[in-house]
A and B are shown apart, each in its own frame.
Chain A
Amino acid sequence: MTDTTDAGRSTGASPVPDRPRLRMATAWLGGCSGCHMSFLDLDEWLFDLADRADIVFGPLADIKEFPADVDLTLVEGAVTNTDNLELAQAIRANTRVVVSFGDCAVTGNITALRNGMGAPDAMLQRVYVEHPDLAGVLPTEVVPELLPTAQPLHELITVDVYLPGCPPSAQRIRTALIALLDAMAAGEPLPRQWRAPEDLTFGN
């Protein structure tokens, strides 16, 4: 340790980043986490992402409360229970750009298949009581209460960008993230559609 080093530190001589670092989050509502698995399939590109953004919340980070002042949040899953709803509202209140991430968030998808059965009790009865391998008891502790129907995210909060797919491929996620991060860093309007390198389709 020399005085020079200390002096260097005290003046804050860290390299000035080319672009402002963004605060990014991911969230897992009523979905299977397949979209997050696909996100992890970005593999080494996650290092490039980490160069441009801090991941400040998500199932991959042990942070309990959704933080303030988030630039971009990818939200996986339909809004199916009271916890989902609370988190969705916290995300909207604290995020500049909310991305509906994957088919469950965009359409309800598999999570919303229960809607046609009527009240959530019908599904709970079918799964927990009529199922021969389970105890025949409805779970009441710890688990949050189900909402009357599972809904796409945009039915409950304003969504800025939609990224369909079940799950969206890593390639599709990367294309979207690059377009969004570039636009946000440059202060440009958000891209609404990106066709390349593949079509945005539901399902595949």
Chain B
Amino acid sequence: MNLTPPRPSGPRPNVPVILDGEEVMAFDGESILDLARRLGTPIPTLCYLDGLSVHGGCRLCVVEVNGDSRLPLACATPVTSEMEIRTDTSSLRDHRRRVVELLFAEGNHVCASCVSSGACELQDLAADSNVDHIHYALEFPRIDVDASHPKYVLDRERCVLCTRCVRVCDEVEGAHVWDIAQRGNRSTLVAELGKPWGEASSCTWCGKCVLVCPTGALSFKGRSTGEMRHDPDIVAFLASARDEGEWIDREEPSP
């Protein structure tokens, strides 16, 4: 499987394009996002992640291109010769702000009670795109938390459906535990086609999905308030195991 976007074929950038009014040279086949990042032009992203295939689902990286009435995705659109790209116009800022607001409206992104507050890409995007309130009526969905896995927690109310977890599990870990089930605003992240995560035997407990999650949807169990479980009896177990030379399986306290 091809894990990375196609590499630029030419050794030197030789495709002339205009990026925010400046004439620059792009690599042949390079995406608009790669070009912009290489030149230090910021374009906000959410579902895009270096090292994973391109999903193109969050619509935050949209740009304006002359002659195209739609807003192409910077992550999924290769540059072409003489392309005229604008990355930061008031209409793009407005569009991105609306996307962020819709993400907030769709879930229960309550930062105050979130394990990821202060380490959340959605929270940062809201601040960066001047979201100080949500214009849309909030959905207040009720979706159960899946805390069946011994190590990790899935809070679907905080999921933005970026599919980073789906892709990293499939493309990097090779386990393919995750998929998106249903459609539209019913779309939901499922383990092994709908099993509780703790019963998904294909999960290798690698934790990559948790590491790449942009929000508090996937988190390490035991990190939120009151979740710490001590295990002082381990010492007596170790001492007796050493004395007896016997290492019998021992049940750890459940998190």
Residue B133 interfacial (CB < 8 Å): yes
A-B CB contact pairs (8 Å), 26 listed: A100-B133, A103-B111, A107-B110, A108-B138, A110-B112, A110-B113, A112-B138, A116-B157, A118-B142, A149-B140, A152-B138, A162-B133, A164-B132, A166-B112, A193-B132, A199-B128, A200-B130, A200-B132, A201-B124, A202-B109, A202-B111, A203-B118, A203-B123, A204-B111, A204-B118, A204-B123
A162-204 residues with Cβ-Cβ distance < 8 A to B are 162-164, 166, 193, 199-204
The listed residue (B110, B118, B126) touching A110 by CB distance below 8 A is B110
Contacts of B126 in A (CB 8 A): 201-202
Is the beta-carbon distance between B133 and A164 smaller than 8 angstroms? yes
| Chain A residue contacts of B118, Cβ below 8 A | 203-204
- The answer to whether B108 has its CB under 8 Å from any CB of chain A is yes
B residues contacting A by CB (< 8 A) are: 104, 108-114, 117-118, 123-124, 126-128, 130, 132-134, 137-138, 140-142, 157
How distant is the Cα of A203 from the Cα of B123 in the complex, in angstroms? 8
User: Which B residues touch A117, using CB under 8 A?
Assistant: 142
Given contacts A109-B112, A202-B111, A154 and B127 within 8 Å (CB-CB): no
The residue that A113 contacts in the complex, of B113, B127, B134, B137, with Cβ under 8 A, is: B113
For A203, the closest partner residue in chain B by CB is B111
Contacts of A110 in B (CB 8 A): 110, 112-113
Q: Which residue of B lies closest to A204 (CB)?
A: B118
Give every chain B residue within 8 A of A162 (Cβ-Cβ): 132-133
Other 4 A-B pairs with CB < 8 A, given A107-B110, A116-B108 = A107-B104, A115-B140, A166-B112, A201-B111
Residues of chain A within 8 A of B128, CB atoms compared: 199
Let me know if B140 and A203 touch, CB within 8 A. no
Given A103-B112, A202-B123, A204-B111, also A116-B133 (CB < 8 A): no
| A106-B112 Cα distance, complex, nearest whole Å | 12
User: What chain B residues lie within 8 Å of A193 (beta carbons)?
Assistant: 130, 132
Closest A-B pairs by Cβ, 4 of them: A203-B111, A116-B142, A115-B140, A166-B112
Contacts of A103 in B (CB 8 A): 110-112
CA distance A118 to B137 in the complex (A): 16
Chain B residues closer than 8 Å to A115, beta-carbon distance: 138, 140
Flag whether A69 is at the interface (Cβ < 8 A).
no
A155 within 8 A of B: yes
Knowing A108-B138, A116-B141, A116-B142 touch, does A203 contact B112 (C-beta < 8 A)? yes
Interface hits, A111-132 → B, CB 8 Å: 112-113, 115-118
- Give the residues in chain A near B111, CB-CB below 8 Å: 103, 166, 201-204
**A residues less than 8 Å from B138 (CB atoms):** 107-108, 112, 115, 152
Assess the A155–B110 pair: CB atoms within 8 A.
Answer: no
Measured between alpha carbons, how far is A112 from B128 in the docked complex, in Å?
A: 25
Instruction: Give chain A nearest CB distance to B82 CB in angstroms.
Output: 36
Using a CB-CB cutoff of 8 Å, which residues 126-157 of chain A contact chain B? 149, 152, 154-155
Distance (whole angstroms) from the CB of B43 to the closest CB of chain A: 19
A117-B126 Cα distance, complex, nearest whole Å:
26
Residues A109 and B110 in contact, CB atoms below 8 Å apart: yes
Residues in chain B near residue A152, CB distance under 8 A: 133-134, 138
Complex-state Cα separation, A109 to B157, whole angstroms: 13
- CB-CB under 8 A from B114, the residues of chain A are 203
Residue of A nearest to B128 (CB): A199
Q: Which residue of B lies closest to A116 (CB)?
A: B142
Cα distance, A106 to B71, chains bound together (Å): 30
* Residues of chain B within 8 A of A118, CB atoms compared: 142
What residue of chain A has the Cβ atom nearest to residue B109's Cβ? A202
- Interchain CA distance A113-B110 in the complex, whole Å: 8
Q: Distance in Å from the Cβ of A179 to the closest Cβ of chain B?
A: 13
Q: Which of B113, B127, B137 has the most CB of A within 10 A?
A: B127
